[in-house]
Structure 1
């Protein structure tokens, strides 16, 4: 029978023929290393989306509001990150961070809205 080596530490593996790791610790370490690059990017994007949502939520206590671009930028809002868009029949495009959205208006103003999630 051919001896197999652990993909993480190189130790000899005992047990099932299709086993790839000598322990759960090695399996977890291997998979964490394998996914670390993509996980870091995803973590960064999710952090930015949550921050954008928190900013919109704070500025929209009644479900609708109007604010200037400078106020959003001052709070750290990043216009490059949103979860989805909604285009009205009239062609207006709302950008959403989860259930909170904004519509660009004239003179750098934005209409802020909260979509009913029920």
Structure 2
């Protein structure tokens, strides 16, 4: 009895429990299975990583103030954050992983970096 690859239908040689003729077919098959749901997750993760990279680049010292337009010019998307932190006095910091910002008056933002041990 010969077995066929679950992706391309070619005959499979080798172990009795083998389901694909090679890595390319295995990857293609699994990508088809998870393509719809993973597409959204990959898109959100890409935006979060980009936001974090922009914050890191503009805040090399760990704390700085700049105009909001500088973030937006670099492609920062204010809709995507990993978490928020609200202080006792009601100010809300928004974070992309350890990099965060606080919106200030007159279009300025305070960029901060959270200590990874916190």
> Aligning the two structures, in what range does the TM-score lie when normalised by the shorter sequence?
0.7 to 0.9
TM-score (normalised: structure 2): 0.77
- Distance between the aligned counterparts of 1:106 and 1:22, measured in 2? 59
**Structure 2: runs of 5+ lacking an equivalent:** none
User: What CA RMSD, in Å, does the superposition of the two structures yield over aligned residues?
Assistant: 2.5
Cα drift, residue 24 of structure 1: 6.4
Deviation sequence 1:10-43 (CA, Å, 0-9, x none): 789xx67xx9x56565554332201012222222
- Distance between the aligned counterparts of 2:70 and 2:30, measured in 1? 42
SS of 2:80 mapped into structure 1: coil
- Distance between the aligned counterparts of 2:100 and 2:20, measured in 1? 49
Matched residue count = 114
Moved over 6 A (4+): none
TM-score (normalised: structure 1): 0.77
**Structure 1: runs of 5+ lacking an equivalent:** none
Q: Does the 8 Å CA contact 2:98/2:114 hold for their aligned counterparts?
A: yes
Aligned position for 1:53: 52
Q: Does the 8 Å CA contact 2:63/2:111 hold for their aligned counterparts?
A: yes
